[in-house]
Structure 1
Amino acid sequence: MTGGRLLAARYELTEPLGKGGMGEVWAARDTALGDRKIAVKLLSTQRLASLSGTTDPEELRRRFLRECRVTARIDHPGLVAVHDAGRDGDRLYLVMQLIEGSDLADHLAEHDPYPWPWTIAVLAQLCSALAAVHAHRVIHRDLKPGNIMIRPDGRATILDLGIAAVRGDDEETRLTHTGTLLGTPVYMAPEQALGGTPIGPATDLYALGTIGYELLAGRPPFHAPNAPGLLYKKLHEQPEPLQRLRPDAPTPLTTLIHHLLHKDPQHRPADARQVFDALTPHLPHPGTTSATPPMDPTRPFWHPMAPWPATRPTAPQEPDLATALDEIKRLLALGHYPQVAELLSRTLPLAAARYGDSSPIVRSLRKQYAATLLDTGQYARALPEIQRLAQEFTAERGPYDPLVLQLRADEQLCLRHLGHA
């Protein structure tokens, strides 16, 4: 799949955003609505067929659209909005709101140790969204940091209800087989991993507890080399007490997270609303601070409904930076990569001056700069950028992280072209 393709004679794909087991996500433009920026998820019909037990394309389309209708009915500011869904040739697609910001995994890596007030604010925002999801008898089943975006104004948004299970009415059966194992093992509740029994809201609450634990501890509650090993630990071991790892965090918060991680779903909190109520006493009170930095998840509580950015631009480079970022996106969509590289080289210092070298926005621009230099064959300029990124991500994620491995492969490619390998 390449950029520039038009789906349903309306949605123009511009650049890939990510790829997973269920398909790939693209940034795109809605040509029927003034080139509105959107995200388009293209689903693998082969993968869906293996999960749903049918290879009939019409049956796949029918089930897919039925599930999309259910999730599209859920209206909450903490959920990505669904605009459209359909089939184009042999591809099923889902058109969604395009969310700017940093995913929670990167946000944690940039702010480790994660402040405990931020942890409370993120969990509270997720609880609010999950309460809306569960009220529609939908279970997310794959809640994880990579599926959560922290927006520039601090709002947390859940991105993907793509493998959500619809509970209840026969006419709204789930897309995948009952008993099919879907989800991410690290965040998966024991009953979900075991299969064979219906799952419910408590399954998502376990994932929420795992996220909370990881935000405070900097790592998930359990580690194992494979999924069976993880399941064994979840069933037979207790995570290290958070109060020992983060003595600065309030005891009610660490106790609540361990409560969410109970092995028996019947012994977890009753629902997302109860978890939100438990977090409420520790949330900020509106108006008690004057300013917050970008991507501060406490901001929606300090300054509900306040405009973002919080102040009018005063520095002379602010309009230039915004204009440059828009121009970079436009040039990327057109495939004008040499111009993108040159513009990024001038934009990065402006972005670093405003947001800081370690901010998610600057890190994202640096990754784009390195990739563009590599794509245009500018190996001598790409090499130091790639090496710097590889060093930083290795320190944060370890040498075997997929991104680190890709950066090391790009480094070797540069060295070969420069005659050093």
Structure 2
Amino acid sequence: MIGRLIAGRYELATVIGQGGMGQVWTAYDRRLDRRVAVKLLRPDKVADGDDAEELRRRFDRECRVTAQVDHPGLVTVHDAGADGDELYLVMQYVEGADLGDHLAEHDPYPWQWAVAVAAQMCAVLSAVHAVPIVHRDLKPRNVIVRPDGTVTVLDLGVASVLDTDTTRLTHTGSPIGSPAYMAPEQAMGGTVGPRTDLYALGVLLHEMLSGHVPFAGSTALGVLHRHLYEAPVPLRQVRPEVPEPLEALVLRLLAKDPQHRPAGAQDVYRELAALLPVPGAHHGPLGPMDPTRPFLHPHAPWPDRAGAPQPPRPATAPTAPPLAGDDLATAVEEVKRLLDAGRITQAVDLLGGIIPAAAGKHGEHSPVLRALRKQYAATLMEDGQYRRALPELRRLGEEFASQYGGADRQALRFRYEAAQCLEQLGDTTAALSEYRVLLPYFEQWAATDPATPLGIRRRIAHLLLSAGDRAAAHEVLTRLLFDAQRVHGHAHPFPAEIRRTLAWLSRVQG
């Protein structure tokens, strides 16, 4: 494998990480003559047949979305694609030690360091949750402490690719993610949100401060059972010098119910900031890769390095300018070509420029403008831009309801897609409420469209799991399994996935 050329450009050199679903290599970019990191994934390790193809499509989309997140605490994505049977992701090579090695080298880990690592991770999470993206697999191997003390988070979006809507478990029956760091709602197959990452952050903080994860066991099932039903040991019982506010914060981060955790990463950062060292204050000798250094000496040069200035970057990415009316037909054809080529982000930008021109030429209520706005909303959804898609879908739903009545099928379809955006944005309560309102309408059309009401019921079950209401979720899934097997047959993937979730729920609850 050493010396293998990926995409005719990236020459593999050394394995630096390995797991059940792929490997991470150092490599050399022949075109730009630089060192990079290449992650190789095997779709056949987590899916078969059509599922593997769906995984490839999700991989492409997640790479597009995550590549747009610009934050110094995230590894930069350079390239992505498929090479033979493997998917590849080319990333910036980050110098430093992963947090697992950093912990092993510094035992006990200074509590100020733990605060500094967690604060930097909160800054990253605040940026990615705003997109919105949920990391889903925060763990020591996905956190790098660099020589200047800054922290870099890896593998953003990869766990989302593997955790598909059609199967929450791999075909071997193993849960997606790392059980030691997995929130209860994620373990139960519920809908994940920003607070799922905050739980994993709480596990990491507990590990940094105590030397071990709060819930351990000899089997993955045993670990997940402890996440669901056992309370963590308060940190000051094992390490008295930990400040009381820090102990209290970790306990809130590890709450079983997501609603009892802090509201967001920014709130956690504010609490951690009160415990950080004051800039410029004496903090003893700065050891190698001290994570408090960025707070003590903000933007200071790296140790033992000459700080060469970096070229300036544009503050914002260029966007497509509004188009004149005469260019409208040409632009529409260009959008179609971009979509056919899979260039979704460019299509979104171009549609954003077309719509004002179409409104000026044809009017706000014209069929042409409505068709463009429907395409715009659908493309935003395809590109994972749920925050931008939500108001577009709500507006379309309101317009169709105003013209054709609240029970209009197309109006309700837009509301259903808007509810999916709410779910993706982590608004569990609003999404659950909307799905429950919509379900009776779609059940009226079950004779011609049985898949949609079944899908809504499954989403309701997953949201109930996320909210910690396992009894209600079990009841919904049991009824859903009967109807899904009647519609699809026993061997269809949809009822098979429900049976796996019910079996997993029964084992963990037992």
Shift of 1:199: 1.1
**1:188 counterpart residue number:** 182
**1:20 counterpart residue number:** 19
Q: Quick one: structure 1 residues 292 and 8, their matched pair in 2 at CA, closer, same or farther if it must change by over 3 Å?
A: same
- Please give the alpha-carbon distance, in whole angstroms, between the structure 1 residues aligned to 2:87 and 2:252: 39
Q: Which amino acid aligns with 1:308?
A: W
Which one of the candidate residues 272, 289, 295 is aligned to 2:265? 272
Q: Quick one: structure 1 residues 263 and 127, their matched pair in 2 at CA, closer, same or farther if it must change by over 3 Å?
A: same
Within-5 A mapping of 1:245-324: 245-289=238-282, 292-309=286-303
In structure 1, the gaps of 5 or more residues are 167-172, 313-421
Q: Quick one: structure 1 residues 258 and 281, their matched pair in 2 at CA, closer, same or farther if it must change by over 3 Å?
A: same
CA offset digits 1:123-170 (Å, max 9, x no partner): 00011111111111111111001111111111111111253438xxxx
The answer as to whether partners of 2:14 and 2:26 remain within 8 angstroms in 1 is yes
CA offset digits 1:277-299 (Å, max 9, x no partner): 11111112222238622210000
Q: Which amino acid aligns with 1:255?
A: A
**2:166 counterpart residue number:** 177
Shift of 1:9: 1.3
**1:225 counterpart residue number:** 218
2:93 matches 1:94: no
Q: Which amino acid aligns with 1:237?
A: E
2:138 matches 1:139: no
- Please give the alpha-carbon distance, in whole angstroms, between the structure 1 residues aligned to 2:164 and 2:304: 43
CA offset digits 1:152-191 (Å, max 9, x no partner): 111111111253438xxxxxx9756353331100100111
Q: Which amino acid aligns with 1:14?
A: A
Q: Which has the larger displacement, 173-182 or 215-224? A: 173-182
**Secondary structure class of the residue paired with 2:47:** helix
RMSD: 2.1
Q: Quick one: structure 1 residues 138 and 311, their matched pair in 2 at CA, closer, same or farther if it must change by over 3 Å?
A: closer
Which one of the candidate residues 214, 235, 243 is aligned to 2:236? 243
Q: Quick one: structure 1 residues 239 and 62, their matched pair in 2 at CA, closer, same or farther if it must change by over 3 Å?
A: closer
TM value normalised by structure 1: 0.68
- Please give the alpha-carbon distance, in whole angstroms, between the structure 2 residues aligned to 1:96 and 1:175: 23
**2:29 counterpart residue number:** 30
Greater CA radius of gyration, 1 or 2? 2
**2:463 counterpart residue number:** none
The answer as to whether partners of 1:6 and 1:12 remain within 8 angstroms in 2 is yes
**Secondary structure class of the residue paired with 1:127:** helix
**Secondary structure class of the residue paired with 1:216:** helix
Shift of 1:265: 0.6
Shift of 1:208: 0.3
CA offset digits 1:13-36 (Å, max 9, x no partner): 111111112211110011111x21
- Please give the alpha-carbon distance, in whole angstroms, between the structure 1 residues aligned to 2:166 and 2:211: 34
Which one of the candidate residues 65, 78, 103 is aligned to 1:83? 78
**Secondary structure class of the residue paired with 1:79:** coil
- Please give the alpha-carbon distance, in whole angstroms, between the structure 2 residues aligned to 1:53 and 1:113: 48
Shift of 1:48: 4.2
- Please give the alpha-carbon distance, in whole angstroms, between the structure 1 residues aligned to 2:277 and 2:15: 37
Q: Quick one: structure 1 residues 155 and 37, their matched pair in 2 at CA, closer, same or farther if it must change by over 3 Å?
A: same
Q: Which amino acid aligns with 2:82?
A: R
2:206 matches 1:204: no
Number of corresponding residues: 301
- Please give the alpha-carbon distance, in whole angstroms, between the structure 1 residues aligned to 2:163 and 2:70: 20
- Please give the alpha-carbon distance, in whole angstroms, between the structure 1 residues aligned to 2:26 and 2:279: 35
**2:441 counterpart residue number:** none
CA offset digits 1:255-314 (Å, max 9, x no partner): 1001100111110000111100111111122222386222100001111111112577xx
The answer as to whether partners of 1:79 and 1:129 remain within 8 angstroms in 2 is yes
- Please give the alpha-carbon distance, in whole angstroms, between the structure 2 residues aligned to 1:55 and 1:287: 52
In structure 2, the gaps of 5 or more residues are 170-174, 307-510
**2:51 counterpart residue number:** 54
The answer as to whether partners of 2:134 and 2:157 remain within 8 angstroms in 1 is no
The answer as to whether partners of 1:67 and 1:174 remain within 8 angstroms in 2 is no
**1:411 counterpart residue number:** none
**Secondary structure class of the residue paired with 2:51:** coil
**Secondary structure class of the residue paired with 1:224:** coil
Q: Which amino acid aligns with 1:302?
A: L
- Please give the alpha-carbon distance, in whole angstroms, between the structure 1 residues aligned to 2:255 and 2:55: 36
Shift of 1:62: 2.7
Which one of the candidate residues 93, 104, 107 is aligned to 2:102? 107
TM value normalised by structure 2: 0.56
